[in-house]
């Protein structure tokens, strides 16, 4: 595979291409690199490659003519060359894109600088615009090196064995399992026993599990794309069991529309919908917090109808969901019940439609769920009163809705949206993948 590098700093590439496996791959002819100095394609005596932007503004823009001449000269010599412009506005580089690019015979990598290149070149003479990440470098040279390194690894012979390429993070679609080397005991920190066992089947299985665990904890979205074996699924399910989320529906103290402290009445539909939500997403339970005895009795009667009466006989699925509900008289009692089960203090996470406090994003809370049991506190009526909010360790980002100030979801809708934002990403293993060559899926991943 051949890489043409078009740059105004040819010397930039002197040392990185002379080191390690890239140096070897070049010497063995597995890859080829030709560096082109953009200034060699200028025609004026100052070798000018840039100019001020039309319309004013900061910085300089690469002029179209030298770029055009450089691209043309490469295309004349090597017509199949794919022209790539490196810029932060491009498509994000990921392993799948790298695998596609590795099939090309040659690439011309254009390293931008300053305010970028003239739009007419970008729009008409570039095949693909690629970014290596959501940050801004001083120029495309580092990005070009990244592309050379990522693609070279995929060329047979560049890395020792195909096996070691296949085992890397992303090639298998999973993050790589942790590696250990001698000594087996370092400052009292031991290497996992199984790695010393010599049992290759067990070692393989341990490594696969570690890859699944790391991916689930750090990059769960990657699992969506994977074909999982039944053993993988069982293992993932056992890990997900470790996420313990409880939902607290608070009827006192909450606010009314005049922001006065009140106790609200239990709503039947909340019980049904929150129970079903809880069962569907694997929550550990829903606590209804209601200080009014008559209200508690009424709700318990309803629950009993589904657990022990005709309701449950007629609709066993609903009975299964209703088992998730527990009625208590105050927040302390609910916390104590969770503490008794979990043997550890849970994190209390408040939800509030009108943000007054700094809040966590759903993915931040998702990460916390691996560490501690989490109780999500939802207020009925016009929301949780300050004395409850003051007890919370964290707050969740509100559901904002859109455009105007109208923001009046029912508590059960808000709970469903929030729970899906935290846990919906783990539904990947229920989802059937769309056919591989499906246009819709291609658009989704690109
Ligand atoms: N040039 C400047 N920043 C870049 C990035 N993130 N990716 C590719 N080229 C760049």
DSSP of 225-263 = G----HHHHHHHHHHHTT--EEEEEE-SSEE-TT--EE-
135 Cβ below 6 A of ligand 1 = yes
- Helix, strand, or coil here: 372? coil
* Ligand 1 contact via 136 beta carbon (within 6 Å): yes
Give the residue among 72, 69, 71, 93 at the shortest CA–CA distance from 142: 93
Burial 164-193 (b: 16+ CB within 10 A, else e): ebeeebbbbbbbbbeeeeeeeeeeeeeeee
**Helix (H, G, I), strand (E, B), or coil: what is residue 395?**
strand
CA-CA-CA-CA torsion sign (170, 176, 182, 183) = positive
Summarize pLDDT for 244-271 with one digit per residue, the tens: 999 999 999 999 999 999 999 999 999 9
- Taking the centre of ligand 1 as the mean of its atom positions, its distance from the CA of residue 145, in whole angstroms, is 11
CA of 5 from ligand 1 middle (Å) equals 15
Contact 69, 41 (CB under 8 A): yes
- Cβ 88 under 6 angstroms from ligand 1: yes
pLDDT of residue 219: 94
CB count within 10 Å of CB 269 equals 9
> 285: closest CA among 303, 301, 297?
303
- Between the CA of 324 and the centroid of ligand 1 the distance, in Å, is 50
| Cα atoms in the Cβ-side hemisphere of radius 13 Å centred on 6 | 27
pLDDT tier for residue 443 given thresholds of 50, 70 and 90? low
Q: How far is the CA of 345 from the centre of ligand 1 (A)?
A: 45
Helix (H, G, I), strand (E, B) or coil at 158: coil
Cα distance between residue 147 and residue 17, in whole Å: 12
Question: Which pLDDT does position 63 carry in this prediction?
Answer: 97
CA distances from 128 to 4, 151, 206, 362 (A): 15, 16, 40, 34
Angle at 244 between CA 398 and CA 202, to 5 degrees: 130
Going by C-alpha positions, the residue among 283, 315, 312, 316 that lies closest to residue 415 is 283
Q: Which of 97, 128, 138, 143 to mutate to test the pocket of ligand 1 (most atoms within 8 A of CB)?
A: 143
Strands (E), 125-202: 128-131, 185-186, 189-190
Strand locations in 160-239 (E): 185-186, 189-190
Rounded distance from Cα 122 to ligand 1 centre (Å): 15
**pTM recorded for the entire structure:** 0.87
**What is the helix (H) or strand (E) element at residue 101, kind and residue range?**
helix 95-101
pLDDT band at 353 (very low <50, low <70, confident <90, very high): confident
Distance CA 6, CA 3 (A): 10
Find out whether 3 and 34 touch, Cβ atoms under 8 Å: yes
Average pLDDT over residues 105-127: 96
Question: What is the best residue among 92, 93, 137 to mutate for testing ligand 1's pocket, by most ligand atoms within 8 Å of CB?
Answer: 137
Q: Is 133 in the pocket of ligand 1 (CB under 6 A)?
A: yes
Cα distances from 236 to residues 92, 240, 243, 426, in angstroms, run 28, 6, 11, 9
DSSP state of 435: P
Q: And the tokens for 156?
A: 């047979």
Q: Ligand 1 centre from 107 Cα, in Å?
A: 17
The Å distance, Cα 115 to ligand 1 centre, comes to: 12
Average pLDDT, rounded, for the chain:
93
Nearest to 407 by CA among 396, 398, 416: 398
338 — phi, psi (to 5°)?
-65, -45
Residue nearest to atom 7 of ligand 1 (CA): 131
Tokens of 298: 């009424």
What is the token pair recorded at 116?
């970028």
At 293-334, the pLDDT tens digits run: 999 999 999 999 999 999 999 999 999 999 999 999 999 999
Ligand 1 centroid distance, CA of 94 (Å):
14
252 to each of 44, 156, 353, how far by Cα in Å?
79, 66, 17
> What share of the chain in percent tops pLDDT 90?
86
Closest ligand 1 atom number to CA of residue 136: 3
**Of 142, 144, 146, 147, which is best to mutate to test ligand 1, by the most ligand atoms within 8 angstroms of its C-beta?**
142
| Torsion sign, CA atoms 427, 430, 431, 436 | positive
pLDDT at 441 over 60: no
| Tokens encoding 209 | 């599990």
Question: Best of 6, 87, 148 to mutate for ligand 1, by most ligand atoms within 8 A of CB?
Answer: 87
* 131 CB near ligand 1 (under 6 Å): yes
Bond before 379 cis per omega within 30 degrees: no
Would you place residue 442 in the very low, low, confident or very high pLDDT band (cuts 50, 70, 90)? low
pLDDT (0 to 100) of residue 407:
85
Determine if ligand 1 sits within 6 Å of the CB of residue 380: no
């Amino acid at each position: 595979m051949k890489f043409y590098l078009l740059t105004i700093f040819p010397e930039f590439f002197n040392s990185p291409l002379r080191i390690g496996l890239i140096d070897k791959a070049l010497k063995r002819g597995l890859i080829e690199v030709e560096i082109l100095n953009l200034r060699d394609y200028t025609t004026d005596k100052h070798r000018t490659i840039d100019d001020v932007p039309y319309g004013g503004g900061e910085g300089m823009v690469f002029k179209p003519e030298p770029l055009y001449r450089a691209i043309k000269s490469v295309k004349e010599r090597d017509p199949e060359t794919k022209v790539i412009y490196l810029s932060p506005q491009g498509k994000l580089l990921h392993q799948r894109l790298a695998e596609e690019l590795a099939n090309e015979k040659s690439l011309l990598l254009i390293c931008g600088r300053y305010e970028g290149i003239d739009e007419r070149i970008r729009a008409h003479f570039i095949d693909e615009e690629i970014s290596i990440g959501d940050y801004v470098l001083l120029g495309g040279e580092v990005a070009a090196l990244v592309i050379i390194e990522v693609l070279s690894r995929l060329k047979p012979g560049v890395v020792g064995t195909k096996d070691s390429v296949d085992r890397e993070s992303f090639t298998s679609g999973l993050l790589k399992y942790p590696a250990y080397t001698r000594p087996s005991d370092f400052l009292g920190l031991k290497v996992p026993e199984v790695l010393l066992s010599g049992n290759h089947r067990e070692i393989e299985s341990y490594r696969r599990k570690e890859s699944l665990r790391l991916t689930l904890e750090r990059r769960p979205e990657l699992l969506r794309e994977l074909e999982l074996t039944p053993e993988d699924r069982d293992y993932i399910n056992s890990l997900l069991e470790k996420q313990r989320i409880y939902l607290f529906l608070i009827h006192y103290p909450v606010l009314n529309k005049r922001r006065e402290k009140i106790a609200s009445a239990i709503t039947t539909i909340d019980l049904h919908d929150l129970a079903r939500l809880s069962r569907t997403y694997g929550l550990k339970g829903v606590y209804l917090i209601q200080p009014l005895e008559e209200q508690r009795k009424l709700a318990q009667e309803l629950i009993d109808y589904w657990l022990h009466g005709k309701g449950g006989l007629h609709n066993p699925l609903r009975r299964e969901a209703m088992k998730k509900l527990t009625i208590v008289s105050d927040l302390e009692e609910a916390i104590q019940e969770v503490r008794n089960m979990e043997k550890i203090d849970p994190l209390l996470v408040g939800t509030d439609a009108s943000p007054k406090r700094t809040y966590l994003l759903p993915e931040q809370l998702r990460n916390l769920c691996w560490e501690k049991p989490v109780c999500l506190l939802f207020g009925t009526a016009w929301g949780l009163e300050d004395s409850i909010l003051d007890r919370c360790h964290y707050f969740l980002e509100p559901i904002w809705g859109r455009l105007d100030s109208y923001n009046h979801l029912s508590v059960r809708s808000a709970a469903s949206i929030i729970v899906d934002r935290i846990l919906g990403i783990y539904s990947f293993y229920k989802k059937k993948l769309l056919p591989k060559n499906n246009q819709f899926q291609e658009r989704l991943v690109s």
